[in-house]
Amino acid sequence: MAEYAKQLVKEEVTILPEGNVVTPKGFTAGGVHCGIRKSKLDFGWIYSQVPAATAGVYTTNAFQAAPLKVTQESISTGCKIQALLVNSGVANACTGEQGLNDAYEMRKWGAEAFGVLESHTAVASTGLIGELLPMEKIKQGIDQIHQQENNHVSRFERAILTTDTREKGTAVQIEIEGKTIAIGGAAKGSGMIHPNMATMLSFITTDADVDASALSAALKNITNKSFNMITVDGDTSTNDMVLAMANGTAGNSPLDEDHPEWHLFEKGLAIVCENLAKEIARDGEGATKLVEVHVTGAETDQAAQAISKSVISSNLVKTAIHGADANWGRLITAIGYSGQPVNPDKVSISIGSVKVVNEGMPVAFDEAEAKSHLMQDTVIIFADMGAGSGEAIAWGCDLSYDYVRINASYRT
Amino acid sequence: MAEYAKQLVKEEVTILPEGNVVTPKGFTAGGVHCGIRKSKLDFGWIYSQVPAATAGVYTTNAFQAAPLKVTQESISTGCKIQALLVNSGVANACTGEQGLNDAYEMRKWGAEAFGVLESHTAVASTGLIGELLPMEKIKQGIDQIHQQENNHVSRFERAILTTDTREKGTAVQIEIEGKTIAIGGAAKGSGMIHPNMATMLSFITTDADVDASALSAALKNITNKSFNMITVDGDTSTNDMVLAMANGTAGNSPLDEDHPEWHLFEKGLAIVCENLAKEIARDGEGATKLVEVHVTGAETDQAAQAISKSVISSNLVKTAIHGADANWGRLITAIGYSGQPVNPDKVSISIGSVKVVNEGMPVAFDEAEAKSHLMQDTVIIFADMGAGSGEAIAWGCDLSYDYVRINASYRT
């Protein structure tokens, strides 16, 4: 049944292998090195030919960074964004009054550079907490925006990275009212990635004409099932933000929940978010593989979400998977302390296609077969609670020596 | 004020540097190698000359191991335990009907060996989940109980260890009604250590005469401030148990909440539990240091507990401390996502005596001084919320390469 539903989606939504944030019409993007980071690109932008209806989802961390406050103010003014500026290297978080002023200044300079309203300009930052934005360098970045050679989407994708090892872009195509519509996305993740707002920065573009409040509701709903279902290390950052910009250049009539093809737009948006979320998990700090935990048969979807997050967040599960060790006791343990109602005698678990626990009891299984699945690029754990029809998928990664190496010396 | 209280405790409660579970009169303990583990001791016992009033606290994990069920049944029968048998190497968890039968059999054999009632016998297991107890080996262990050379408390302390690197014993002495009373303890920890029941096995003995229900209430309350405030890796095991046995051989009149010197017994018990909890945290898998997070000025004690646990549990904080990196941004972040009400502009943080954040703003501090504190055996983080009088301390450890090495290959 789930397989059938998946195929339906595939027929209606085409995934574009080389897709990205400028696949939708009317968007450009670029990036430069402005000197915040030693030599890597550290300043990027997305520009839309026309103001785009925009929705945002923001970190739940009490210490919300300055750029998030400024961007929320922009969006709340008219729900439209036309230009987005992002720097990496410095997060502009815990920087008080001065940090807020700097974020406003960055927005102002960006608006001037693109000739758009300040209230149509969004800013984002990622990097070290507690340092002030080096404003001269930000200015240098902005000054390079209109140099032809900097306007390549791959430069944007690179400029927003921190400890990520690769760029993350995706796009899908759908047809609505006979018109071709694209939805694209870019993201950065790597550290401080945890459910409860996806952490990370994620930017989604579409040339569809979408009602801002419908877009906002869909983004929130889909974020809960994609970005909020990934974890790298259990830490929710101060700077997390997902923005979705819809510029309407595809020429469809405005989409909202009442449009007969709304479900198709939602599906496309969901696939873009899920793809980005998985890419973030796969590229977690020190990660050598993507881990998916599929929970079925829980009492409710919410219970399934909590159980899958409990398993994907367990350091003991993550290290066992790193060592390709079919240590299902750790899976059972993480299910057991999820805080959800669980009947131990009903729980069944498979590692890939290898069943290791059947209704609470160990199964004699082929260790070599389980190990061979655990050595794959993508490891899938299936856990059925035998209690109801609640289901959820969570994504994460293994915990490696490199995670410790990277984080024991990030600042110094 | 807190300092003054601490000194008072020190005057009234004497910590015995070489103390352990047989410091209280009327207890013996020992351990042997019965063959569950390759060469290390793997079977231990504590015996009391007379049945001891006993209280227990058990894991909150839904998958509770068989020995915990059997021990709870023993204690619920008459609140008395005289003999305790513990094996390491196999946890007897997720072993169904057979596992439960095995735990009953282990209890029966133990009762026979000591000539005590089955309902006065407790059993505990720690080790790999999902394997049946090797009953022949358990029998071999029990057969060695009465061999003189095996009755040494250090053998007991060693026999209950798994990936721990050292034995954990402690004892204190108090005077009640002019009589000398001792309280001793032993524990094992290392992996799957997390708040919400302390994980691990911990056994406390005293020669005081204590009312069983008063002992139970005190143990629960003190566990919440000691064992439940430590974390190694965020995983709550299936086998966690704290037992406190009071055999009354000191000859005092029975202690309960109404006894004028009850507070003194409570203080002594609290110090024993706190010492064991700290030793478990310090000896966490791969740990190179003990980390203490002191939270003050929270709205309530409960809020302070949640905030201190959030910080002590953060992989990013733990790796930064491993690298002796004064990365206070990660401390702020973990405070911010604790789910507790926090006013960012009021939070102040010190690393040892080095203030790094003052009311939400970074302080220019001496990196070398902070680093030198972070290189110590014990690292102390102070975080004041500036909001009320709630306070708490949580204990944990750093996250090292060795944590990954140990856990990527535990089973194989």
Question: Which CATH number belongs to the domain containing residue A386 in this structure?
Answer: 3.10.20.340
What is the pLDDT of chain B when averaged over all its residues? Answer: 90
Do B301 and B317 belong to one domain?
yes
B399 touches chain A (CB under 8 A): yes
Last residue of a domain, one of B224, B259, B282: B282
Nearest C-alpha neighbor of B208 from the set B170, B171, B249? B249
Do B329 and B256 belong to one domain?
no
Q: Is the dihedral of CA A372, A374, A380, A381 positive or negative?
A: positive
- At B1 the pLDDT is 33
B337 touches chain A (CB under 8 A): yes
Can you tell me the mean pLDDT for B124-149? 94
Nearest C-alpha neighbor of A200 from the set A156, A164, A148, A246? A164
Do B336 and B197 belong to one domain?
no
- At B190 the pLDDT is 67
A228 labeled binding residue: no
**Residue A142 gets which letter from DSSP?**
H
How many domains does chain A divide into?
A: 2
Kindly list the distances between the CA atom of residue A179 and the CA atoms of A175, A182, A212, A286, in Å, as whole numbers in the listed order: 5, 10, 20, 42
**In which domain, by residue range, is B258 found?**
9-282
B96-105, B151-160, B194-203, B337-346: which range is least confident on average?
Answer: B194-203
Interface probe, candidates A100, A313, A342, A404, chain B, greatest B C-beta count within 10 A: A404
Find the closest chain B residue to A318 by CA distance: B408
- At A235 the pLDDT is 60
Count how many Cα atoms sit within 13 Å of the Cα of residue A363 in the half-sphere of its side chain.
Answer: 19
Do B214 and B340 belong to one domain?
no
Pairwise CB contact (< 8 Å): B404 & A408: no
Contacts A312 to B, Cβ<8 Å:
none
B54 labeled binding residue: no
Spatial neighbors of B124 by CB under 8 A, at least 6 apart, are B67, B68, B71, B84, B85, B86, B87, B160, B201, B239, B241, B243
- At B375 the pLDDT is 94
A335 touches chain B (CB under 8 A): yes
A332 touches chain B (CB under 8 A): yes
Residue B2 is assigned to a structural domain of this protein: no
Do A237 and A301 belong to one domain?
no
Contacts B328 to A, Cβ<8 Å:
129-130
Find the closest chain A residue to B412 by CA distance: A325
B174 touches chain A (CB under 8 A): no
User: How close is the nearest chain B Cα to the Cα of A106, in Å?
Assistant: 21
Residue B3 is assigned to a structural domain of this protein: no
For residue A394, give both structure tokens: 């969570």
Q: Which of B 253-292 lie inside 8 A of A, CB atoms?
A: none
Spatial neighbors of B176 by CB under 8 A, at least 6 apart, are B208, B250, B252, B255, B259, B261, B264, B265
Nearest CB partner across the interface for A129, out of B131, B332, B412: B332
Q: What CATH number is associated with residue B140? A: 3.60.70.12
Last residue of a domain, one of B222, B251, B282: B282
Residue B96 is assigned to a structural domain of this protein: yes
A35 touches chain B (CB under 8 A): no
DSSP B325-362: ---HHHHHHHHHTSSS---GGG-EEEETTEEEEETTEE
Residue A156 is assigned to a structural domain of this protein: yes
The rounded distance, in Å, linking the Cα atoms of B146 and B142 is: 8
Pairwise CB contact (< 8 Å): A233 & B315: yes
Q: Using a pLDDT cut of 90, give the percent of chain B over it.
A: 74
Do A174 and A253 belong to one domain?
yes
Do B199 and B327 belong to one domain?
no
Residue A366 is assigned to a structural domain of this protein: yes
Kindly list the distances between the CA atom of residue B290 and the CA atoms of B206, B232, B278, in Å, as whole numbers in the listed order: 27, 10, 7
For residue A306, give both structure tokens: 């909590």
A289 labeled binding residue: no
**Residue B253 gets which letter from DSSP?**
P
Do B258 and B186 belong to one domain?
yes
Can you tell me the mean pLDDT for B256-265? 96
The rounded distance, in Å, linking the Cα atoms of B194 and B254 is: 34
Find the closest chain A residue to B92 by CA distance: A329
User: How close is the nearest chain A Cα to the Cα of B139, in Å?
Assistant: 24
- At A194 the pLDDT is 47
Do B255 and B195 belong to one domain?
yes
Last residue of a domain, one of A256, A281, A306: A281
Pairwise CB contact (< 8 Å): A330 & B399: no
- At B333 the pLDDT is 87
Nearest CB partner across the interface for B332, out of A63, A325, A404: A63
> How open is the CA angle A172-A177-A178, to the nearest 5 degrees?
70
Pairwise CB contact (< 8 Å): A192 & B316: yes
Pairwise CB contact (< 8 Å): B314 & A235: yes
Do A244 and A316 belong to one domain?
no
- At B135 the pLDDT is 98
Contacts A357 to B, Cβ<8 Å:
94, 130
B191 touches chain A (CB under 8 A): yes
Do A306 and A329 belong to one domain?
yes
Do A269 and A360 belong to one domain?
no
Please report, in tens digits, the pLDDT of each residue of chain A (412 residues total).
Answer: 344 444 444 458 999 989 999 999 999 999 999 999 999 999 999 999 999 999 999 987 888 899 999 999 999 999 999 999 999 999 999 899 999 999 999 999 999 999 999 999 999 999 888 889 999 999 999 999 999 999 999 999 999 998 888 899 999 999 999 999 999 999 998 665 543 333 489 999 999 999 999 999 999 999 989 988 887 665 666 788 999 999 999 999 999 999 999 999 999 999 999 999 999 889 888 889 999 999 999 999 999 999 999 999 888 899 999 999 998 988 998 998 888 989 989 999 999 999 999 999 899 999 999 999 999 999 999 999 999 999 999 999 998 888 888 777 655 4
- At B410 the pLDDT is 55
Pairwise CB contact (< 8 Å): A315 & B238: no
User: Catalytic positions of A, please?
Assistant: 199
3-state SS, residue B180:
strand
Residue B4 is assigned to a structural domain of this protein: no
Residue A209 is assigned to a structural domain of this protein: yes
Pairwise CB contact (< 8 Å): B409 & A323: yes
Neighbours of A25 (CB within 10 A): 19
User: How close is the nearest chain B Cα to the Cα of A259, in Å?
Assistant: 38
Residue B1 is assigned to a structural domain of this protein: no
B128 touches chain A (CB under 8 A): yes
The rounded distance, in Å, linking the Cα atoms of B394 and B308 is: 6
- At A284 the pLDDT is 83
Neighbours of B178 (CB within 10 A): 6
